[in-house]
Amino acid sequence: MPSPILSWQVWALLAAVFAALTAVFAKIGVENVNSDLATFIRTVVILVALGGILIALGEFRTLPEIPARSYAFLVLSGLATGASWLCYFRALQLGNASQVAPIDKLSVLLVAIFGVTFLGEKLSALNWLGIAAIAGGTFLVAYRA
């Protein structure tokens, strides 16, 4: 039986916790800084931290073994991540973190649609109901009366 600490659910939950902290820390951080510069600073921190982890684990040695197709899609993913971060930090600078973050999480809805459309993934009616609830909840959280 696999260790619970290695399950995808644990890692996904940790990702959600760190994403929530990202929103709070970033909202405070962009108060007196251009949002693009703030994104750059955040990116440098990520590069240094991940570089240290990869060096410590000896993972840089496998770079030449990565297939060209993987490189291409990782570059596209990096570009999409950069665009997302630029937009996210600008939105945080202009709006409330409690409103921006839920709208950003509409990515859950989009990943479901893209997964079905482009990756051939299958979702049940119950899955779609959950995705609709996320979309509805996002609207309710982001809407200010």
Q: Which pLDDT belongs to residue 62?
A: 75
For the chain, what percent of residues have pLDDT higher than 70?
A: 97
Both tokens of residue 29?
């951080």
Question: Residue 108 is which amino acid?
Answer: V
Tens digit of pLDDT at every position of the chain (145 positions): 567 677 888 988 888 899 889 889 999 999 999 999 999 999 999 999 999 999 999 887 777 888 999 999 999 999 999 999 999 999 999 999 988 988 998 998 999 999 999 999 999 999 999 999 999 998 888 877 5
Ordered by start, the domain boundaries in the chain are: 4-104
Instruction: Please report the pLDDT score of residue 4 as a whole number.
Output: 67
> What local confidence, expressed as pLDDT, does residue 8 receive?
86
| Residue 96 contacts residue 141 (beta carbons within 8 Å) | no
pLDDT digits (tens, 9 = 90+) for 33-62: 999 999 999 999 999 999 999 999 988 777
> How many whole angstroms separate alpha carbon 24 and alpha carbon 116?
32
Whole-number Å distance between alpha carbons of 137 and 135: 5
Closest among 106, 103, 95, 87 to 141, alpha carbons compared:
103
Half-sphere exposure of 60 (CA within 13 A, CB side): 7
CB neighbours of residue 95 within 10 Å: 15
Which residues, at least 6 apart from 104, have a Cβ–Cβ distance to it below 8 Å?
A: 23, 84, 88, 91
Cα separation, 85 vs 124, whole angstroms: 31
Return the pLDDT at 142: 82
